[in-house]
Amino acid sequence: MQNVKYLRHPNFEEMDLIFKEAGDLIKMVTIAPELPGGIDLIHYLTKRNVVVAIAHSNATYEEATQAFEEGASHITHCFNAMPVIHHRAPGLVAAALENDGVSLQAIVDGVHLHPGIIRLMHKIKGPNKIVLTTDALQAMGVGDGDYVFGGHQVSVKEGIARLQDGTLASSTITMNRSLKLSVDFGIPLSDGIKMASTTPANILGLNRIGEIKEGYIADLVLLDDAYDVSQTIINGVVYS
């Protein structure tokens, strides 16, 4: 669903400008490594301790393998906007599943990924290498209707966001609902919680968050038995 007028090849001058403005706020950059300059950009980013992710990519198995060898270590929105696995052309996803050092994002909204795929990802990678992500657009929590997102007209019907041609256009799910669906699909609750909190913090190298532990920042979300939010705690301050 990416708008073609915003797409361009890796540009080091542009990346320099972004780092000049944002500095160490940049934790992860997602690229398509098969584009001209893609591998060089991986080198550029890893030298700055940025996690390099791959997505919206048509990379072959061989191109993905090279990207992982050069330092890429994560897959954004695994299975979406990338080639399907074929037994003679396994592609990016197979290369990522095969590599123990590569972590994956899963959009668990009941639309983007079949429950069997989510269980397969969990079986292969485990909770320490899978991140729950909502990929939610501005319709999250607002409801059905028409929106402008990424330069496109997006219609949300029954909670599913699509372009006019039917292409999926992001999601509307919240993280607590994504956690509930993960459990409904067969993921143990303890693993789902780790995938929504501890694992993403560890992948990004963020310290003192993502766990309930002495000395850690008290940022917590309390859910009831229906997975509805009952309280939020930010830096130890309780919000009901």
pLDDT of residue 240: 82
pLDDT digits (tens, 9 = 90+) for 100-146: 999 999 999 999 999 999 999 999 999 999 999 999 999 999 999 99
User: Which letter does DSSP use for residue 176 in this model?
Assistant: H
Provide the whole-model pTM: 0.94
Distance CA 128, CA 61 (A): 23
Asked if residue 1 has pLDDT above 80, the reply is no
pLDDT of res. 149: 86
Can 135 be counted among the known catalytic residues?
yes
DSSP, residue by residue, 197-235: THHHHHHTT--S-SS--TTS---EEEE-TTS-EEEEEET
- The neighbour count for residue 25, using CB atoms within 10 Å, is 8
Could you tell me the sign of the dihedral formed by the alpha carbons of 41, 43, 49, 55, in that order? positive
Q: Exactly one of 40, 135, 191, 219 is catalytic; which is it?
A: 135
Among the residues of 80-235, which ranges form H helices? 91-98, 115-125, 175-184, 189-196, 198-203
Q: What is the pLDDT of residue 76?
A: 98
Strands 160-162 and 220-223: unpaired
